[in-house]
């Protein structure tokens, strides 16, 4: 009777595989694995590196897999599927020695002897340069990054990534440069201080024009034709008796945070504005020397040095420039007028509380008007 190979359980396996399988049966403590779904190996002493349909069996001592390849991890490393030295790295498609080269955005540079860092694909000197992260370019350390380039901060300013040359009395408003003597800024948009006013992030036209002509009648400045709310240019009428009368009758609000006596040092005109260099005093104590910006064009403000005014304001004067607005009182100084103001202020609550009440009233009026408009148009 002959031997039938087809009926033998190991007939389709090679001789080595047969021995391994027999060893499994004889030594059940031996650990085996299958590599590539076709070849068995001793997993206690070997590793199987399998990747992309390829595989390799290698000794396990100090070895690890890098895709389908094995490598000695004491001398090599695996990076992006490539086996390289432990002191090497990959820059783009090239390998390089990290002690000699620096890679910046797939661009290789010789490592310089000075402190350096990457800025985009550039390598820059950290001692006298800095990196503009927007355009990713190195610039001198005394420059400022601005948009896609850089500016000299001594001669230029950056307004929301747009560069402008520096000019006196200018500032940023959004991406634009504005002249603070004639323009204001609201919601990153500029507006004309003479014809518009700011109100809750909306630019509205002024309800009264306070740029009075030079020959305007004093009665129009202080009379009922002028809105008390928009009457900063009341200072154009140099009649302290009229001011005293209006203050006593309650037509002028003197309940402000600060009351200053101002002594004029110099005055100049810029367009429709007057700028005054003045010294502020309070209770006979010098507070500060500031520049007042007054949006009026009347010639009565062109007075000589040493002229005195009375300034009542809710604004703080910590800065060197103070632009007066419609809520401020700027009056020609006279002792009897100052006494009238002082007597009227005694009837005020604390200035802070009065300011708070006025703000609550203003917001309440605005809310009521909005509510009524909604009812009307519902």
| 139-168: pLDDT as tens digits | 999 999 998 889 999 999 999 889 999 988
**From CA 279, how far away is CA 317, in angstroms rounded?**
11
How high is the pLDDT of residue 62?
87
Going by their DSSP bridges, the two strands 285-294 and 321-323 should be labelled as parallel
195: pLDDT strictly greater than 80? no
Domain ranges of the chain: 5-85, 167-205, 218-347, 351-378
Q: What is the pLDDT of residue 3?
A: 46
Q: What pLDDT score does 160 carry?
A: 87
SS (H, E, C) 317-328: CCCCEEECCCCC
Distance of CA 222 to the CA centre of its chain: 44
pLDDT tens for 277-300 read: 998 888 878 877 888 888 876 777
In this structure, are residues 243 and 337 in contact, taking their beta carbons and an 8 Å threshold? yes
pLDDT higher than 50, residue 224: no
169-183 residue pLDDT tens? 888 888 899 888 888
Residues 214 and 299 sit within 8 Å (Cβ to Cβ): yes
Average predicted confidence (pLDDT) for the chain: 77
Residue 353 has pLDDT above 70, yes or no: no
Tell me the C-alpha distance between 216 and 362, whole Å: 31
Q: Give me the DSSP letters along 304-359.
A: -TT-EEEEEESS---SSEEE--TT-EEEE--HHHHHHHHHHHTTS--HHHHHHHHH
Among the ranges given (134-143, 209-218, 228-237), the one the predictor scored with the smallest mean pLDDT: 209-218
Q: Could you give the percent of the chain with pLDDT greater than 90?
A: 13
Separation between Cα atoms, residue 60 and residue 72, nearest integer Å: 10
Helix extents (H) in the chain: 15-26, 218-222, 240-248, 335-345, 351-376
Is residue 319's pLDDT more than 80?
no
Domain 218-347 fold: OB fold (Dihydrolipoamide Acetyltransferase, E2P) (2.40.50)
pLDDT confidence band for 102 (50 / 70 / 90): very high
54-93 confidence digits (pLDDT tens)? 888 888 888 899 988 899 988 888 988 888 888 888 888 8
User: How far is Cα 211 from Cα 207, in angstroms, rounded to an integer?
Assistant: 12
DSSP annotation of 211: -
Which pLDDT band holds residue 125 (cuts at 50, 70, 90)? very high
């Amino acid at each position: 009777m002959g031997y039938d190979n087809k009926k033998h359980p190991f007939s389709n396996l090679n001789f080595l595989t047969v021995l391994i399988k027999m060893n499994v049966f004889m030594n059940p403590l031996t650990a085996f694995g299958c590599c590539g779904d076709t070849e068995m190996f001793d997993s206690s002493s070997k590793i199987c590196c399998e990747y992309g349909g390829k595989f390799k069996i290698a000794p396990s001592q100090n070895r690890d897999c890098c895709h389908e390849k094995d490598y000695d991890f004491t001398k090599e490393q695996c990076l992006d599927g490539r086996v390289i030295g432990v002191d090497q790295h990959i820059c783009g498609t090239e390998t390089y020695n990290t002690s000699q080269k620096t890679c910046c955005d797939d661009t290789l540079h010789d490592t310089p002897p000075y402190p350096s860092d990457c800025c985009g694909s550039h390598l820059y000197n950290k001692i006298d340069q800095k990196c503009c992260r927007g355009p990713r370019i190195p610039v001198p350390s005394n420059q400022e990054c601005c948009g896609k380039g850089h500016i000299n901060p001594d001669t230029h300013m950056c307004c929301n990534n747009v560069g402008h040359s520096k000019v006196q009395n200018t500032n940023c408003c959004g991406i634009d440069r504005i002249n603070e003597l004639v323009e204001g800024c609201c919601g990153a948009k500029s507006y004309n201080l003479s014809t518009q006013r700011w109100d809750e992030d909306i630019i509205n036209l002024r309800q009264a024009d306070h740029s009075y002509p030079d020959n305007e009648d004093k009665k129009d400045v202080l009379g009922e034709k002028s809105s008390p709310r928009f009457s900063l240019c009341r200072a154009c009428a140099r009649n302290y008796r009229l001011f005293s009368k209006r203050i006593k009758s309650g037509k002028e609000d003197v309940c402000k945070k600060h009351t200053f006596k101002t002594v004029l040092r110099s005055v100049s005109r810029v367009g429709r504005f007057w700028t005054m260099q003045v010294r502020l005093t309070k209770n006979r104590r010098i507070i500060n020397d500031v520049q007042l910006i007054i949006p009026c064009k009347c010639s009565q403000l062109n007075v000589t040095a040493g002229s005195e005014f009375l300034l009542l304001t809710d604004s703080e004067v910590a800065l060197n420039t103070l632009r007066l607005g419609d809520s401020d009182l700027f009056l020609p100084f006279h002792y009897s007028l100052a006494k009238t103001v002082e007597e009227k202020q005694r009837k005020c609550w604390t200035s802070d509380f009065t300011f708070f009440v006025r703000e609550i009233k203003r917001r309440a009026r605005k809310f009521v008007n909005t509510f009524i408009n909604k009812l009307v148009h519902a």
